[in-house]
Amino acid sequence: MRIFTAIVLVLLCVGFQPLVAQQKPKETKDTKLDSLQSVLDKATSDTAKVRIMCAISVHCKRKDVKKAFETAQKAFELAQKTKVDKALAQATRTLAGNYENKGDVLKTVQYYKEAIGLYEKLGDEKLLNEVYNELGIAYFNQNVLDKALECFVKVIKYAQKTDNKELEARLTNNMGAMYARDEDFVKAEEMYQKAYKLNKELSNVSLMMSNLTNLASTYKSLKRYKESIQCFQDLLALGDKTNDSSKIYIAYSNMSNVYKILKEYDTAMLYSQKTLKYRLKVGDIRNLAGSYNEIAGLYLEKNDFAQAEDFMAKSQEIAVKTKNQRQIMNNYATFAELYDKKKDIANALFYYKKYITTKDSLEKADKAKQLVQMRTIYETESKEAENQKLRQKNDLHVAQKSTFYAIGIAISFALLGVIAVAIILYRNNAHKHRLNQELTMQKAELAEQKEEIQVQNEELRQQQEEITAQRDYIAKQNLELTGRNELIEAKNQIIESSIQVALQIQNAMLPYPTRMQGTLGEYFVLNKPKDIVSGDYYWLHKQEDTIILAVIDCVGHGVPGALMSMIAHALLDKVVVLQEHQQPADILKYLDEEVKYALQTNTDNSQGGMDAAIVVWTPTTEGEVQVTFGGAKRPLFVKRPNSPEIEEIGATRRSIGGEINATLPFIQQTLTLEKDSIMYLFSDGITDQNDIKRNRIGGNRLKEILLQNAHLLMNEQKVSLERAVQTYMEGTIQRDDIVLVGVKL
């Protein structure tokens, strides 16, 4: 099971608070609020009071929701009394923002639209477009993406028309977030890149950091992890300059997630612990549960079950205390994975069922919420249509009053003649007739719209019934599948337990690290099985002062390869230890005979049982060492101390146990190597590994990687080589078992 960590896409709003704010430590005194309250107490005009109360409401919006809403209501009531459109527009806009903060969709849209009408009447394009942007964000938060797009496009056109680069950058970022919500990550990347470029031109570091956060999240969704990490590193560099700790620790949390995907657990743990330290410092209690879960998951990957269980207990305690149902769901999944790895099947199944139950409950609530949101939007549109109808009736009433007034004037000026009166009456009657016709048409349109809304409501009802039927069917299927899954899971546990035992046996077959250290001195081993057990292995033997080191690449991988490796290991012990053959060519020759006899591979098309690279040498205290090498299709790479390149020593082009090129004799070569020379023996799994474009690493690229790291300590070489291979195969799967042994003479 996988635990997914959501990465917040930042919407940028003009003159408005961020959608999600970090919790801050409690301040003993709010000097800005005190200052605003002092100015309000001294204000004499009602319009000034409205303006200051709106500022207080915006200031308190994240700190004291109740005070912010009550102040916005008072400002709105006072603005209505003043009958000053500018004050009323500002108060209406502020009240809309507070309703959005409370989650009241209907009133949020209603008051934003009323504010838009007032700013249109005032002809204030700047503030009008700011409100359109805020309405677009409200639609975005309710997942009504088509209407959000309409609002954002209007504001972008205004920004481009007025050459307002800052506003254009904000709206471009918002559109990127909208595309990301719609999972069009390619288009989202384009928008974020454009926004970042604009903010860079404006030297707006804060918004550049928001753009980098969104870009990094997008690259992660596209599985372009290297670019995602680079964006986070750029973000950290900017954060150091601005001392913006909140964005720095957002980057730390997300970098931990990316490194976990890359299976670089130590690096991921470093960033997770930094995130935890910050959240403890600022008192971010709700998100502490996520940090503890994240660290527990990393300990779980490292098979440190005690630490994982300890951190999960802390996460669950906080999640329950804060009633964070989604975190509780994620915790159930992690508990199930923990107990599964501990082979505690009963508890694993218990928490898995709780995870499924909680997940279904949350999905059901989300669907219900979505239906309510859609109905709310339609109700809002319907109410807007009714308001339009009332405004049209009012216009007609005014027109009729004007008609009567004109008739009175006509009578008072009767001396102008009956003809003039008739003309005036004719014109007024014609105007009235046109208005009546327009009103009839508008009534018909409203009736049509009402009918369309009713049809849509009926479709929604039918869809809800279909969803309910599908849910019941799925629930029935789930019950059946649960039984089958439990049976399959039990069988899988038996198989996996057997393979784990096989792994322990195979590991016991390999030379212990203490023996390797005592025999070889400076060395490293990169051993990455494709599956749990491997068909590639390394073998070490010391006869008096002579050291024999071999890397064997058996045909196949997984269980078949592992079985073949056991046969090869036994035969190698027989040829070297019992029969006392110490020359590489002899070892390969007699090993070939033994493998053919053991496997009965006497057909002409046999591909062979294994490939091998064998080196034999006697350590000296002198400046040079005589090394004898023999290989079956596996070469030896050598890095001499003062050489600018990696030297390749070729192998015989035939496999052990195969009939292809069977007449070729196995040959060996003797090399004179200086002290501190490095020998590299390896299976073909590392050179055959491909990247996302299906290009192999190959021998030449492997030489480049080894040459770049040859100056490092041997254990550091292993880390760099492993990281290079992991980066190269990003976006692909491992094709074969990998073994590479490096020895420094």
3-state secondary structure string across 499-514: HHHHHHHHHHHCCCHH
Alpha-carbon distance of 661 to 663, in angstroms, equals 5
pLDDT of residue 437: 74
Indicate whether 8 pLDDT > 80.
Answer: no
Indicate whether 377 pLDDT > 90.
Answer: no
Indicate whether 2 pLDDT > 80.
Answer: no
Q: Which of 176-190, 199-213, 308-322, 465-479 has the lowest mean pLDDT?
A: 465-479
Give CA separation, 285 vs 20, 26, 64, 272, 312, in Å: 15, 13, 18, 16, 15
pLDDT tens-digit series, residues 225-257:
999 999 988 988 887 777 767 777 788 888 889
Alpha-carbon distance of 328 to 351, in angstroms, equals 11
Find how far residue 120's CA is from the centre of its chain: 41
Alpha-carbon distance of 117 to 4, in angstroms, equals 43
pLDDT of residue 456: 76
Alpha-carbon distance of 487 to 508, in angstroms, equals 32
pLDDT of residue 384: 57
Rounded mean pLDDT, 309-321: 91
Contact 612, 569 (CB under 8 A): no
pLDDT tens-digit series, residues 651-661:
999 999 888 88
pLDDT of residue 18: 32
pLDDT tens-digit series, residues 153-207:
889 888 888 888 888 888 899 888 888 888 889 999 999 999 999 999 998 888 8
Alpha-carbon distance of 297 to 165, in angstroms, equals 43
Alpha-carbon distance of 426 to 592, in angstroms, equals 117
Indicate whether 596 pLDDT > 80.
Answer: yes
pLDDT of residue 520: 94
| pLDDT bucket at 140, cuts 50 / 70 / 90 | confident
Amino acid at 38: S
467 or 311, which is more confident? 311
The burial of 365, by beta-carbon neighbours within 10 Å (0-12 exposed, 13-18 middle, 19 or more buried), is given as exposed
pLDDT of residue 710: 95
pLDDT tens-digit series, residues 499-542:
888 888 888 889 999 999 999 999 999 999 998 899 999 999 99
Q: Where are the alpha helices (DSSP H) in 553-697?
A: 558-572, 584-599, 685-688
Alpha-carbon distance of 109 to 95, in angstroms, equals 11
Alpha-carbon distance of 426 to 434, in angstroms, equals 12
pLDDT of residue 395: 54
Average pLDDT in the chain: 84
The burial of 263, by beta-carbon neighbours within 10 Å (0-12 exposed, 13-18 middle, 19 or more buried), is given as exposed
pLDDT of residue 387: 58
Indicate whether 10 pLDDT > 60.
Answer: no
426 or 323, which is more confident? 323
pLDDT of residue 361: 85
Q: DSSP per residue over 452-479, as a string?
A: HHHHHHHHHHHHHHHHHHHHHHHHHHHH
pLDDT tens-digit series, residues 216-225:
999 999 999 9
pLDDT of residue 389: 59
What's this model's pTM, rounded to 2 decimal places? 0.45
The residues, ordered by sequence, that sit 6+ positions from 652 with a Cβ below 8 Å of its Cβ are 588, 630, 631, 632, 633, 664, 665, 666, 667
State the DSSP code for 21: -
Indicate whether 379 pLDDT > 70.
Answer: no
Kindly give the interhelix angle for 345-412 and 325-341, rounded to the nearest 10 degrees.
Answer: 160
Q: What is the largest CA-CA distance in the chain?
A: 141
Rounded mean pLDDT, 289-299: 91
Rounded mean pLDDT, 321-338: 90
Rounded mean pLDDT, 430-444: 73
Alpha-carbon distance of 489 to 352, in angstroms, equals 12
pLDDT of residue 572: 94
Rounded mean pLDDT, 541-570: 91
Cα torsion 707, 709, 713, 717: sign: negative
pLDDT of residue 9: 39
207 or 364, which is more confident? 207
